Structure 1
């Protein structure tokens, strides 16, 4: 294998493992990610570790703090606003561009992803559910012909996944309600897209993203109040 390709593949594998560990809470907010310790864990040099951490910083999952290095980013209202307002700007635009070009193979994939989401919801599998959710959105926008915007949205969806997992893992069964609502809304998005109802689909998508945004802000406010009591 080409040494450069091998290096990139190694960095990508480490990035994937670190991202998953942050998303599932193995590394909670505020945890310090020491490059030497991670290099020892992965049995690699610090170079691919450093590159993976830089990418996580770009995704908003990690922050570099003076005297501490890489630290898992805290959940904040400002970050939620930034991520979800960007999503509302970019995703309806992508969907409007994509709908006219979606074909039968695309809708077959959307149907398969929706079925997987139903299964993940029934199993309360948050990790799998989050990945399917991102895959479903990206499949909707696959024919937009805007690769730069798609790359940005893919990153935003990964960041959203962390917040969504916090919300869906709450107590009193509200998480499963949120998952079931999303499953229903995704079915509506697919149906509107299949019908070629671009304006209605984009408006529904905007509301879909806004609802999650509002829910997350309420959940963050609730958790902050509880932390103060």
Structure 2
């Protein structure tokens, strides 16, 4: 399968030929593979060939192997003794659990973050929303996922709870490929746009109670719509 690696410009610089230039090669390789998985370039259950990826990214097999371990910890890859690295396939029950965990963690993080938010935090969130809007207008599905996750994480960071934030970041990463699919093929885009704008407004008003309630509904409804979509398109 011919695939072009999509690597975050903020984290990894690449040469014209597609090889990785950054010193932290394992992180760069993990980012490249992660983005292919999230973009749907690699399907659920597909085997990832270590040699082929090393050649495509211009690195040795060692950082690819280490990247696989990192992605396994994130839940995106499963390592098998005889098959090597395989793109993880989440069951409907697992996806429901991930959204349930988000609905528990995110309202608490947001409530703790709001009293600590600065004008700089709010301005950063507003800029992300504008980028999100541009991505929607351009039908840039890759950017939707990035902007959606970064918007939420920007609002939660002032809580100062790095472990909880790390858990939420992992949960967002694990569900991102499914969420992108759902946004493309259902009516979720317009609701996400409206709810994000309202969430930022409530943060500006320092209304932690309503903001927490909204993010809980936002996560629950996204999960329910996603599960309904997946039930129609694949078995659990």
Output the TM-score relative to the length of structure 1: 0.89
CA distance in 2, matches of 1:224, 1:143: 39
What is the CA-CA distance between 1:43 and the residue it aligns to? Answer: 2.7
2:218 is equivalent to residue 203 of structure 1: no
CA distance in 2, matches of 1:154, 1:224: 26
Contact 1:113 1:135 in 2 (8 A): yes
2:179 is equivalent to residue 152 of structure 1: no
CA distance in 1, matches of 2:177, 2:131: 20
- What SS is found at the alignment partner of 1:142? helix
Runs (4+) off by over 4 Å: none
- What SS is found at the alignment partner of 1:143? helix
Where do 5+ consecutive residues of structure 1 fail to align?
Answer: 1-5
- What SS is found at the alignment partner of 1:11? helix
Where do 5+ consecutive residues of structure 2 fail to align?
Answer: 1-20
Contact 1:75 1:163 in 2 (8 A): no
What is the CA-CA distance between 1:78 and the residue it aligns to? Answer: 2.1
What aligned pairs does 1:1-229 form with structure 2 within 5 A after superposition?
9-170=24-185, 174=186, 177-224=187-234
Count of residues in Structure 1 that have an aligned counterpart in Structure 2: 216
Q: Cα RMSD over matched residues?
A: 1.8
Output the TM-score relative to the length of structure 2: 0.86
CA distance in 1, matches of 2:160, 2:201: 21
